[in-house]
Amino acid sequence: MTIKERVYQLVEVGFKTVTGILPGPFSAAINAVYDGIKSNVLSKRAEKWAEDVIKRLEKLEEDYENLINSDAFATSFIKATELAIKTESDEKRQLLANALVNSYSNSMDEDKALIMFNLVEKYTTLHVRIIKYLHDEYMQENLTRYTTTRFMPILRYKFNDVDSVYLEKAVNDLKNDYLVEKFQDDISVQFGAHRFKILTKLGEDFYDFLRPLEEE
């Protein structure tokens, strides 16, 4: 079996998991609508998902025989496929494809992988943008460009395209899930040359889980 054959086999399993059960009974009209969505929308998502995963797997310098026969990879793949088919966001599917390959290449055990995939399912792209900012820019950014060194005002400046209510909700989600340190939102994040690190170990791991393979 080739890697492409294995990918399509696992995508089919995940597709059936998502689309195979429709609670009922429903009218013929509702069933017809559901069948149309399944064939016209979800199947296209599944096809695109398979293509995205194959592109990433082909970049790995791995023995594909080990990958094809890996139970851990199969578990992660089916979970990621369910999430990829359920979302309309191409950006989120790209993140899931990164996560799937990273979970395998880093030999992540099943429990940790499923915790991470559950976080991906829960979070929006806004949550991921915040994580990326805190990892990639925050520690190096010159905060003198702002009129404050307090955490939430800085985020509001940085994410001025987002309604502040939704921004605060996303930050609180990350705090409650222990990806971001829990402190008062009005805390000053810098004293002299010292700047507080905001991401926790779990937050750093989540960032690594989602980043593209070529960035490693």
Structure tokens at 96: 């899931």
Other Cβ atoms closer than 10 A to 198: 23
Structure tokens at 132: 């990326």
| Burial category of 1 from C-beta neighbours within 10 Å (exposed 0-12, middle 13-18, buried 19 and up) | exposed
Q: Mind giving me the DSSP string for 32-83?
A: HHHHHHIIIIIHHHHHHHHHHHHHHHTTS-S-HHHHHT-HHHHHHHHHHHHH
Q: Which segments of the chain have a pLDDT < 70?
A: 1-5, 8, 11-40, 61-64, 142-148, 184-188, 190-194, 214-216
Q: Are 151 and 198 in contact (CB under 8 A)?
A: yes
Backbone CA torsion sign across 95, 100, 101, 104: positive
Q: Rounded to two decimals, what is the model's pTM?
A: 0.79
Q: What is the pLDDT of residues 119-171, one digit of tens each?
A: 999 999 999 999 999 998 887 776 666 666 778 888 888 899 999 999 999 99
Domains and CATH numbers, the chain: 3-122 (no CATH), 125-210 (1.10.10)
Structure tokens at 185: 């939102």
